[in-house]
Amino acid sequence: MDPILLISIAASLVTLIYSAFLVVRILRLPAGDEKVQEIAKAIAEGAAAYLARQNKTVAVVAIVLTAVLWATLGVYAAGGFLIGALASVLAGYSGMMVAVRSNSRTTEAAKKGLPEALYVAFQGGSVTGLIVGGLALLSISIVIFLSTVLGFEPNMALVALGFGGSLISVFARLGGGIYTKGADVGTDIVGKIEKGIPEDDPRNPGVVADLVGDNVGDDAGMAADLFETYVVTAVSAILLGSLLFGGGANVLFPLLVSAISLIACLVGTFFVRLSNSKRIMPALYKGVGATAIFATIGVVLALRILPPNIPQLSDSSILGIFLVGVAITTGMIVTTEFFTGKNSGPVRKVAEAGASGHATNIIAGLALSMKATLFPILLIAVGILASYILGGLFGIALGAVSMLSLTAIVVAIDAFGPITDNAGGIAEMSGQSESVRKVTDSLDAVGNTTKAVTKAYAIASAGLASLVLFAAYTEELARRGMTESFSLSDPYVLVGLFLGASLPYLFAGFAMEAVGRASQAIVAEIRRQFKEIKGILAGTARPEYAKCVDIVTKAALREMIIPALIPVITPIAVGLLLGSRALGGLLMGIIITGLFVAISMTTGGAAWDNAKKYIEDGNLGGKGSVAHQSAVTGDTVGDPYKDTAGPAINPMIKVANVVALLLAPFLV
């Protein structure tokens, strides 16, 4: 067996075993009193029920696509697709089920203080991150191992593996996003705006559905998103290396980088600790910094022990490319925190604009979302140029792999967010003391920023991964004798470019409308309960939480189908009807506008959210003021921006590119 393949399998298994150990340790922690456990159980049951129904719906599509792949590309491509789909489902489901059991334990730990609550929440998030990285690396390694044992060409099986992960990701991101924001927006409209009751108030019939949504959207959805980005990036790098260099180079070197970094992520989780300043964000960043340092040391050692032998790439160039990937990740974190941090200048401006009314808050948030696209795009552009100068086209691929190598630790700090959000909700609903609520609120505020940071990381990595996929598409066509230039003077390319550029807007529009319709359904149900069940507002009657969960579940599953099929059907139609040049233009258009729309939506939505929290801390008149009422409206508008439409564009971009790569053999 190839030593890199052996190292990859070993690293993934070690990570998964350690994740299982973390699960056991978390489950042994105190889960709180009877009321806390009752609420946590309702959240866990709602989340599990939603995912089960979502997976049944997606399974129908997956079975059809498996049959199509088997008939057109063979049994190994169909097998790769199934491995990718099942591993993606497992990553999202297992991570989420740990998260919904960590929330009550975080609430209980908050009674002891901030360090204890941070420890429990981050340990829960670490399980999701490590499972995502471990399963992604293991699934790639399994397909390559099977290709050596069974003697088949692994390229199409690997692309199909990425397609399986991408398909699950777009459904998970979109369905989970529609669920979480349909529940959140509907619950806020009736509870906070119409009835004037606090967020997470147990009198609100939609509150459990809202807490369930945090998990299915921000935990399971993000896990599936970054699982497929990790897989697609590594697969596209391996595929591009084999197309560029043939069998002479060690094209599995990206797997070695991923394996080393995965272990570094595991080690990095031990460095998340509060300092004397009691600042939470720096404590989380310690883990990211430690991971980057250990990963860099590991890559240096790997270059000495297992040199990659890649043409025109020296050891120093490869190390430089790896550092470029780390630098892009760091830059995205800094930029996102600048635009979305609760106490940052841009967020304060959005909050201050709300003092004049609802419209000015919306205008300020939209303006911020547009301006916030420049710095991330500049960062990505510099990273692409630096990687290309150091290593050519394969250098860009290796830079993308290097960036994605930090996935496990980044997902860990993201999954920390919904755990702390749930912990705060449980504390409010169970009537915990003010000191407990203060601890959970401080964790929740940081969780909003970590979720925004992870979304920015996912978008940047999606952009780089899509560029590598596009390069693999052009190289695959060239290998089959079709040298396409994709010139803008070619009307087929131009038509494809326009069509592709429109798709992220169309996709986002469908997603936003879906959230609106889901919200309307739950608003009607909450209003009905307040009207018909006497005593809810007085606290003498229990709301029918399960009905709200059921309504928003049905709405999310119904609404996700059509937009999720857009990136699958459109490339096939354009490729077969207009040819490979138009399809190339389509991919370029999707990548360009998709990046801008995704960055704008996720950043603007997060800024609106934290502007509200800034005011709730007592600034600009605090809760109940004009600024706060305006900020609630801004947050409600921003919710589907940052948690549904924006994040779902990431897998949408990659699905379209993967489908094009699978379609390439039929365009000759």
So what's the pLDDT on residue 464? 82
Question: Per-residue pLDDT tens for 107-149?
Answer: 999 999 999 999 999 999 999 999 999 999 999 999 999 988 8
Tell which wins on pLDDT, 272 or 459: 272
Query: According to the model, what pLDDT value does residue 130 have?
Result: 94
Residue 100 has pLDDT above 70, yes or no: yes
C-alpha to C-alpha distance for 296 and 659, rounded to whole angstroms: 34
Q: Please say if the pLDDT value at position 249 is more than 90.
A: no
> What mean pLDDT comes out for the span 63-78?
92
In this prediction, residue 327 carries a pLDDT of 92
- pLDDT tens digits for 529-583? 988 888 888 888 888 888 888 888 888 888 888 888 899 999 999 999 998 889 9
Q: Is this structure's pTM higher than 0.85?
A: yes
Task: Let me know how many helices (H) and strands (E) the chain has, helices first.
Answer: 20, 0
Q: Is 90 exceeded by the pLDDT of residue 281?
A: no
Taking the C-alpha atoms of residue 655 and residue 509, their distance in angstroms, rounded to an integer, is 18
The confidence score (pLDDT) of residue 171 equals 85
Would you state the pLDDT for residue 510?
92
Alpha carbon distance 439, 202 (integer Å): 19
The reported pLDDT for the residue numbered 208 is 87
pLDDT score of 248 more than 60: no
- CA-only gyration radius of the chain, Å: 24
Q: Would you state the pLDDT for residue 484? A: 63
Lowest mean pLDDT among 57-61, 69-73, 444-448: 444-448
Confidence of residue 664 (pLDDT cuts 50, 70, 90): confident
The DSSP annotation for 363-393 comes to HHHHHHHHHTTHHHHHHHHHHHHHHHHHHHH
Mean pLDDT of 18-25: 95
Distance of alpha carbon 95 from alpha carbon 85, whole angstroms: 16
Q: Is the pLDDT of residue 483 over 70?
A: no
Task: For residue 454, name the pLDDT band (cuts at 50, 70, 90).
Answer: confident
**pLDDT band of 17, cuts 50, 70, 90:** very high
The yes-or-no verdict on residue 480 having pLDDT over 90 is no
Share the mean pLDDT of the chain: 88
Per-residue model confidence (pLDDT) at position 142: 94
- Residues 442-446: what's their mean pLDDT? 82
Task: Out of 433-447, 465-479, 518-532, give the one with best mean pLDDT.
Answer: 518-532
Count CB atoms within 10 A of the CB of residue 3: 12
- Residues 500-505: what's their mean pLDDT? 94
Summarize pLDDT for 329-379 with one digit per residue, the tens: 889 888 988 998 888 899 999 999 999 999 999 999 999 999 999 999 999
Q: What is the model's pLDDT at position 311?
A: 77
Look at residue 370 in the predicted model and tell me its pLDDT. Answer: 95
Q: Which helix (H) or strand (E) holds 195?
A: none
Q: What is the pLDDT of residue 134?
A: 95
Residue-wise pLDDT for 299-331, tens only, equals: 999 998 888 878 778 889 999 999 999 999 889
Q: Return the structure tokens found at 140.
A: 């790639």
- Helix/strand/coil (H/E/C) assignment for every residue in 92-117: HHHHHHHHHHHHHHHHHHCCCCHHHH
> In whole angstroms, what is the distance from residue 304 CA to residue 282 CA?
33
Per-residue pLDDT at 58: 87
* Token digits of residue 84: 């990718």
Q: What are the residues whose beta carbons fall under 8 Å from the beta carbon of 478, sequence distance 6 or more?
A: 484
pLDDT of 447 reads 77
Q: Which residues contact 648 (CB under 8 A, 6 or more apart)?
A: 170, 173, 174, 177, 507, 508, 511, 563
Question: What single letter denotes the amino acid at residue 417?
Answer: G
Q: How many CB atoms lie within 10 A of CB 282?
A: 12
- Residue 292, pLDDT > 70, answer yes
Q: Which residue blocks in 405-490 are alpha helix, DSSP H?
A: 407-429, 434-479
